[in-house]
Structure 1
Protein backbone atom coordinates (compact mmCIF):
# COMPACT_ATOMS: atom_id res chain seq x y z
CA UNK A 1 0.00 0.00 0.00
CA UNK A 2 1.32 3.43 -0.91
CA UNK A 3 1.71 6.28 1.55
CA UNK A 4 -1.72 7.69 2.43
CA UNK A 5 -2.40 11.12 0.94
CA UNK A 6 -6.01 11.62 2.11
CA UNK A 7 -8.09 11.01 5.19
CA UNK A 8 -9.85 8.03 3.58
CA UNK A 9 -6.52 6.48 2.51
CA UNK A 10 -5.12 6.99 6.03
CA UNK A 11 -8.13 5.33 7.65
CA UNK A 12 -7.95 2.45 5.15
CA UNK A 13 -4.22 1.89 5.81
CA UNK A 14 -4.74 1.94 9.58
CA UNK A 15 -7.67 -0.46 9.32
CA UNK A 16 -5.91 -2.89 6.96
CA UNK A 17 -2.65 -3.10 8.92
CA UNK A 18 -4.32 -3.10 12.33
CA UNK A 19 -6.80 -5.84 11.36
CA UNK A 20 -3.93 -8.08 10.27
CA UNK A 21 -2.03 -7.24 13.48
CA UNK A 22 -4.98 -8.11 15.71
CA UNK A 23 -5.40 -11.43 13.91
CA UNK A 24 -1.74 -12.24 14.56
CA UNK A 25 -1.87 -11.16 18.20
CA UNK A 26 -4.97 -13.25 18.84
CA UNK A 27 -3.02 -16.33 17.70
CA UNK A 28 -0.17 -15.80 20.18
CA UNK A 29 -0.50 -17.51 23.56
CA UNK A 30 0.20 -15.33 26.61
CA UNK A 31 3.10 -17.53 27.71
CA UNK A 32 4.90 -17.00 24.38
CA UNK A 33 4.10 -13.28 24.30
CA UNK A 34 6.38 -12.56 27.26
CA UNK A 35 9.44 -14.51 26.06
CA UNK A 36 12.23 -12.18 24.92
CA UNK A 37 13.01 -14.01 21.68
CA UNK A 38 12.40 -11.30 19.07
CA UNK A 39 14.94 -8.89 17.64
CA UNK A 40 14.60 -5.67 19.64
CA UNK A 41 14.07 -2.10 18.50
CA UNK A 42 17.64 -1.23 19.52
CA UNK A 43 20.44 -3.02 17.69
CA UNK A 44 21.71 -6.12 19.48
CA UNK A 45 18.75 -6.36 21.88
CA UNK A 46 15.98 -8.88 22.35
CA UNK A 47 12.38 -8.11 23.16
CA UNK A 48 9.13 -9.96 23.65
CA UNK A 49 5.94 -9.72 21.64
CA UNK A 50 4.54 -8.00 24.75
CA UNK A 51 7.30 -5.37 24.34
CA UNK A 52 6.41 -4.97 20.67
CA UNK A 53 2.77 -4.31 21.50
CA UNK A 54 3.84 -1.95 24.32
CA UNK A 55 5.90 -0.05 21.74
CA UNK A 56 2.89 0.25 19.41
CA UNK A 57 0.66 1.33 22.29
CA UNK A 58 3.23 3.90 23.40
CA UNK A 59 3.35 5.49 19.95
CA UNK A 60 -0.44 5.35 19.59
CA UNK A 61 -0.75 7.10 22.95
CA UNK A 62 1.64 9.81 21.75
CA UNK A 63 -0.39 10.32 18.57
CA UNK A 64 -3.48 10.82 20.75
CA UNK A 65 -1.58 13.24 23.00
CA UNK A 66 -0.33 15.20 19.97
CA UNK A 67 -3.75 15.44 18.36
CA UNK A 68 -5.51 16.44 21.59
CA UNK A 69 -2.86 19.08 22.38
CA UNK A 70 -3.14 20.45 18.85
CA UNK A 71 -6.94 20.60 19.06
CA UNK A 72 -6.64 22.54 22.33
CA UNK A 73 -4.24 24.99 20.71
CA UNK A 74 -1.41 23.83 22.97
CA UNK A 75 2.11 23.28 21.65
CA UNK A 76 2.94 19.70 20.69
CA UNK A 77 6.15 18.35 22.20
CA UNK A 78 7.50 16.00 19.50
CA UNK A 79 8.26 13.18 19.95
CA UNK A 80 7.62 13.17 23.71
CA UNK A 81 8.39 15.46 26.62
CA UNK A 82 11.96 14.81 27.72
CA UNK A 83 12.93 12.90 24.54
CA UNK A 84 14.49 13.95 21.27
CA UNK A 85 14.18 12.17 17.93
CA UNK A 86 17.68 10.74 18.36
CA UNK A 87 16.57 9.05 21.61
CA UNK A 88 13.94 6.71 20.20
CA UNK A 89 15.69 3.66 21.68
CA UNK A 90 15.28 5.17 25.15
CA UNK A 91 11.67 6.02 24.35
CA UNK A 92 11.05 2.39 23.32
CA UNK A 93 12.47 1.27 26.68
CA UNK A 94 10.10 3.70 28.41
CA UNK A 95 7.14 2.21 26.53
CA UNK A 96 8.17 -1.32 27.54
CA UNK A 97 8.29 -0.22 31.19
CA UNK A 98 5.05 1.80 30.99
CA UNK A 99 3.01 -1.27 30.06
CA UNK A 100 5.05 -4.03 31.70
CA UNK A 101 2.44 -4.51 34.45
CA UNK A 102 -0.38 -5.28 32.01
CA UNK A 103 -1.22 -8.88 31.24
CA UNK A 104 -1.39 -9.98 27.60
CA UNK A 105 -5.14 -9.51 27.17
CA UNK A 106 -5.16 -6.11 28.95
CA UNK A 107 -2.32 -4.90 26.74
CA UNK A 108 -4.15 -5.94 23.58
CA UNK A 109 -7.35 -4.29 24.83
CA UNK A 110 -5.48 -1.03 25.46
CA UNK A 111 -3.98 -1.12 21.97
CA UNK A 112 -7.43 -1.67 20.43
CA UNK A 113 -8.80 1.21 22.49
CA UNK A 114 -5.98 3.56 21.48
CA UNK A 115 -6.42 2.69 17.81
CA UNK A 116 -10.19 3.35 18.09
CA UNK A 117 -9.49 6.73 19.71
CA UNK A 118 -7.07 7.66 16.92
CA UNK A 119 -9.67 6.74 14.30
CA UNK A 120 -12.21 8.90 16.13
CA UNK A 121 -9.76 11.83 16.26
CA UNK A 122 -8.99 11.43 12.54
CA UNK A 123 -12.70 11.39 11.74
CA UNK A 124 -13.07 14.75 13.52
CA UNK A 125 -10.61 16.34 11.09
CA UNK A 126 -10.87 17.28 7.43
CA UNK A 127 -8.51 16.34 4.61
CA UNK A 128 -7.34 19.96 4.72
CA UNK A 129 -6.40 19.73 8.42
CA UNK A 130 -4.76 16.32 7.95
CA UNK A 131 -2.92 16.94 4.67
CA UNK A 132 -3.24 20.61 3.71
CA UNK A 133 -0.17 22.04 5.42
CA UNK A 134 2.93 21.04 7.37
CA UNK A 135 2.29 20.20 11.01
CA UNK A 136 5.72 19.15 12.21
CA UNK A 137 8.62 20.49 10.15
CA UNK A 138 7.76 19.36 6.60
CA UNK A 139 5.32 16.60 7.64
CA UNK A 140 1.54 16.95 7.59
CA UNK A 141 -0.60 15.76 10.49
CA UNK A 142 -1.80 12.85 8.38
CA UNK A 143 1.75 11.78 7.59
CA UNK A 144 2.80 12.00 11.25
CA UNK A 145 -0.20 9.86 12.18
CA UNK A 146 0.70 7.35 9.46
CA UNK A 147 4.35 7.26 10.62
CA UNK A 148 3.16 6.22 14.07
CA UNK A 149 0.16 3.96 13.34
CA UNK A 150 -0.26 2.19 10.00
CA UNK A 151 3.47 2.05 9.21
CA UNK A 152 4.51 0.55 12.58
CA UNK A 153 1.56 -1.86 12.42
CA UNK A 154 2.86 -3.10 9.06
CA UNK A 155 6.40 -3.34 10.44
CA UNK A 156 5.11 -5.27 13.46
CA UNK A 157 3.25 -7.66 11.17
CA UNK A 158 6.51 -8.50 9.41
CA UNK A 159 8.33 -8.94 12.71
CA UNK A 160 5.56 -11.21 14.00
CA UNK A 161 5.56 -13.39 10.87
CA UNK A 162 9.34 -13.84 11.16
CA UNK A 163 9.11 -14.52 14.92
CA UNK A 164 6.21 -16.98 14.52
CA UNK A 165 8.07 -18.90 11.82
CA UNK A 166 11.07 -19.32 14.13
CA UNK A 167 8.71 -20.61 16.84
CA UNK A 168 6.78 -22.91 14.48
CA UNK A 169 3.61 -20.98 15.29
CA UNK A 170 0.85 -20.41 12.76
CA UNK A 171 -0.61 -16.91 12.85
CA UNK A 172 -3.61 -17.93 10.78
Structure 2
Protein backbone atom coordinates (compact mmCIF):
# COMPACT_ATOMS: atom_id res chain seq x y z
CA UNK A 1 0.00 0.00 0.00
CA UNK A 2 1.33 3.45 -0.90
CA UNK A 3 2.27 5.91 1.83
CA UNK A 4 -0.76 8.12 2.49
CA UNK A 5 -0.35 11.77 1.49
CA UNK A 6 -3.83 13.07 2.31
CA UNK A 7 -6.52 12.69 4.95
CA UNK A 8 -8.62 10.47 2.66
CA UNK A 9 -5.65 8.22 1.84
CA UNK A 10 -4.78 7.96 5.56
CA UNK A 11 -8.36 7.05 6.45
CA UNK A 12 -8.39 4.42 3.70
CA UNK A 13 -5.05 2.96 4.84
CA UNK A 14 -6.13 2.74 8.48
CA UNK A 15 -9.53 1.20 7.66
CA UNK A 16 -8.21 -1.27 5.08
CA UNK A 17 -5.26 -2.58 7.08
CA UNK A 18 -7.35 -2.73 10.26
CA UNK A 19 -10.16 -4.69 8.60
CA UNK A 20 -7.74 -7.18 7.08
CA UNK A 21 -5.95 -7.66 10.39
CA UNK A 22 -9.20 -8.08 12.33
CA UNK A 23 -10.36 -10.77 9.88
CA UNK A 24 -7.21 -12.74 10.70
CA UNK A 25 -7.41 -12.05 14.45
CA UNK A 26 -10.97 -13.42 14.41
CA UNK A 27 -9.53 -16.80 13.40
CA UNK A 28 -7.57 -17.11 16.65
CA UNK A 29 -9.35 -19.22 19.27
CA UNK A 30 -9.46 -17.40 22.62
CA UNK A 31 -7.88 -20.49 24.20
CA UNK A 32 -4.72 -19.93 22.09
CA UNK A 33 -4.52 -16.14 22.25
CA UNK A 34 -2.07 -16.16 25.19
CA UNK A 35 0.41 -18.60 23.67
CA UNK A 36 3.75 -16.79 23.62
CA UNK A 37 5.07 -18.22 20.36
CA UNK A 38 5.53 -15.08 18.23
CA UNK A 39 8.83 -13.20 18.04
CA UNK A 40 8.57 -10.31 20.49
CA UNK A 41 9.20 -6.63 19.92
CA UNK A 42 12.31 -6.72 22.14
CA UNK A 43 15.28 -8.80 21.04
CA UNK A 44 15.23 -12.35 22.34
CA UNK A 45 11.64 -12.25 23.58
CA UNK A 46 8.44 -14.03 22.64
CA UNK A 47 4.92 -12.67 22.67
CA UNK A 48 1.42 -13.97 22.23
CA UNK A 49 -1.28 -12.81 19.82
CA UNK A 50 -2.81 -11.04 22.85
CA UNK A 51 0.48 -9.22 23.44
CA UNK A 52 0.56 -8.17 19.80
CA UNK A 53 -2.93 -6.69 20.05
CA UNK A 54 -1.97 -5.00 23.35
CA UNK A 55 1.01 -3.47 21.52
CA UNK A 56 -1.26 -2.10 18.80
CA UNK A 57 -3.71 -0.74 21.36
CA UNK A 58 -0.86 0.86 23.27
CA UNK A 59 0.42 2.69 20.20
CA UNK A 60 -3.07 3.70 19.06
CA UNK A 61 -3.91 5.13 22.47
CA UNK A 62 -0.52 6.85 22.60
CA UNK A 63 -1.19 8.56 19.25
CA UNK A 64 -4.58 9.70 20.57
CA UNK A 65 -2.83 11.10 23.66
CA UNK A 66 -0.27 12.94 21.49
CA UNK A 67 -3.03 14.49 19.40
CA UNK A 68 -5.11 15.44 22.43
CA UNK A 69 -2.16 17.12 24.16
CA UNK A 70 -1.26 18.95 20.96
CA UNK A 71 -4.87 20.10 20.50
CA UNK A 72 -4.78 21.54 24.03
CA UNK A 73 -1.51 23.35 23.33
CA UNK A 74 0.43 21.13 25.72
CA UNK A 75 3.85 19.65 24.98
CA UNK A 76 3.93 16.12 23.64
CA UNK A 77 6.40 13.70 25.22
CA UNK A 78 7.50 11.52 22.29
CA UNK A 79 7.34 8.57 22.28
CA UNK A 80 5.95 8.28 25.84
CA UNK A 81 6.70 9.68 29.27
CA UNK A 82 9.70 7.83 30.67
CA UNK A 83 10.71 6.25 27.34
CA UNK A 84 13.13 7.28 24.63
CA UNK A 85 12.98 6.17 20.99
CA UNK A 86 15.77 3.65 21.63
CA UNK A 87 13.63 1.98 24.33
CA UNK A 88 10.70 0.86 22.20
CA UNK A 89 11.17 -2.77 23.22
CA UNK A 90 10.65 -1.75 26.85
CA UNK A 91 7.62 0.31 25.84
CA UNK A 92 6.19 -2.73 24.04
CA UNK A 93 6.65 -4.82 27.18
CA UNK A 94 4.82 -2.12 29.16
CA UNK A 95 1.92 -2.31 26.70
CA UNK A 96 1.81 -6.12 27.11
CA UNK A 97 1.77 -5.81 30.91
CA UNK A 98 -0.82 -3.00 30.96
CA UNK A 99 -3.37 -5.19 29.16
CA UNK A 100 -2.32 -8.62 30.41
CA UNK A 101 -5.49 -9.07 32.49
CA UNK A 102 -7.86 -8.43 29.58
CA UNK A 103 -9.44 -11.40 27.89
CA UNK A 104 -9.11 -11.88 24.12
CA UNK A 105 -12.60 -10.58 23.20
CA UNK A 106 -12.07 -7.50 25.41
CA UNK A 107 -8.71 -6.81 23.74
CA UNK A 108 -10.27 -6.99 20.29
CA UNK A 109 -13.08 -4.67 21.40
CA UNK A 110 -10.62 -2.16 22.88
CA UNK A 111 -8.52 -2.31 19.71
CA UNK A 112 -11.61 -1.56 17.59
CA UNK A 113 -12.56 1.30 19.91
CA UNK A 114 -9.09 2.85 19.65
CA UNK A 115 -9.20 2.57 15.85
CA UNK A 116 -12.65 4.20 15.81
CA UNK A 117 -11.34 7.10 17.88
CA UNK A 118 -8.39 7.49 15.51
CA UNK A 119 -10.72 7.55 12.51
CA UNK A 120 -12.84 10.23 14.19
CA UNK A 121 -9.86 12.42 15.05
CA UNK A 122 -8.36 12.08 11.56
CA UNK A 123 -11.74 12.96 9.99
CA UNK A 124 -11.86 16.08 12.18
CA UNK A 125 -8.55 17.36 10.77
CA UNK A 126 -7.77 19.04 7.49
CA UNK A 127 -5.25 17.88 4.92
CA UNK A 128 -3.20 20.94 5.79
CA UNK A 129 -3.09 20.06 9.50
CA UNK A 130 -2.21 16.45 8.73
CA UNK A 131 0.25 16.96 5.88
CA UNK A 132 0.94 20.68 5.48
CA UNK A 133 3.85 21.08 7.89
CA UNK A 134 6.22 19.05 10.06
CA UNK A 135 4.93 18.15 13.51
CA UNK A 136 7.67 16.03 15.03
CA UNK A 137 11.07 16.59 13.47
CA UNK A 138 10.54 16.25 9.73
CA UNK A 139 7.37 14.15 10.12
CA UNK A 140 3.84 15.48 9.63
CA UNK A 141 0.93 14.52 11.89
CA UNK A 142 -0.44 12.33 9.13
CA UNK A 143 2.83 10.46 8.78
CA UNK A 144 3.19 10.02 12.56
CA UNK A 145 -0.35 8.64 12.69
CA UNK A 146 0.38 6.28 9.79
CA UNK A 147 3.67 5.12 11.39
CA UNK A 148 1.70 4.01 14.44
CA UNK A 149 -1.53 2.67 12.89
CA UNK A 150 -1.71 1.30 9.36
CA UNK A 151 1.98 0.36 9.15
CA UNK A 152 2.00 -1.69 12.36
CA UNK A 153 -1.39 -3.18 11.45
CA UNK A 154 0.13 -4.49 8.20
CA UNK A 155 3.19 -5.81 10.04
CA UNK A 156 1.01 -7.47 12.68
CA UNK A 157 -1.08 -9.11 9.97
CA UNK A 158 2.06 -10.69 8.47
CA UNK A 159 3.00 -12.03 11.91
CA UNK A 160 -0.51 -13.36 12.63
CA UNK A 161 -0.91 -14.98 9.21
CA UNK A 162 2.44 -16.73 9.66
CA UNK A 163 1.37 -17.84 13.15
CA UNK A 164 -1.98 -19.11 11.87
CA UNK A 165 -0.30 -21.04 9.06
CA UNK A 166 2.07 -22.70 11.54
CA UNK A 167 -0.98 -23.83 13.58
CA UNK A 168 -2.49 -25.79 10.65
Using the size of structure 2 for normalisation, the TM-score is 0.99
Alignment-derived partner of residue 39 in structure 2: 39
Q: CA deviation at 1:42?
A: 1.4
1:79 aligns with 2:79: yes
Task: Give the SS at the match of 2:135.
Answer: strand
Deviation sequence 1:63-89 (CA, Å, 0-9, x none): 100011111111111000010000000
Task: Give the SS at the match of 1:139.
Answer: coil
Using the size of structure 1 for normalisation, the TM-score is 0.96
Distance in 2 between residues matched to 1:91 and 1:41, nearest whole Å: 9
Q: CA deviation at 1:27?
A: 1.0
Distance in 2 between residues matched to 1:113 and 1:124, nearest whole Å: 17
Distance in 1 between residues matched to 2:71 and 2:122, nearest whole Å: 11
Q: CA deviation at 1:25?
A: 1.0
Question: Which aligned segments of 4 or more residues in structure 1 are displaced greater than 2 angstroms?
Answer: none
Alignment-derived partner of residue 126 in structure 1: 126
Structure 1 unaligned blocks of 5 or more: none
Structure 2 unaligned blocks of 5 or more: none
1:112 aligns with 2:122: no
Distance in 1 between residues matched to 2:126 and 2:73, nearest whole Å: 17
Q: CA deviation at 1:138?
A: 0.4
Q: CA deviation at 1:39?
A: 1.0
Aligned residue pairs total 168
Distance in 2 between residues matched to 1:90 and 1:43, nearest whole Å: 10
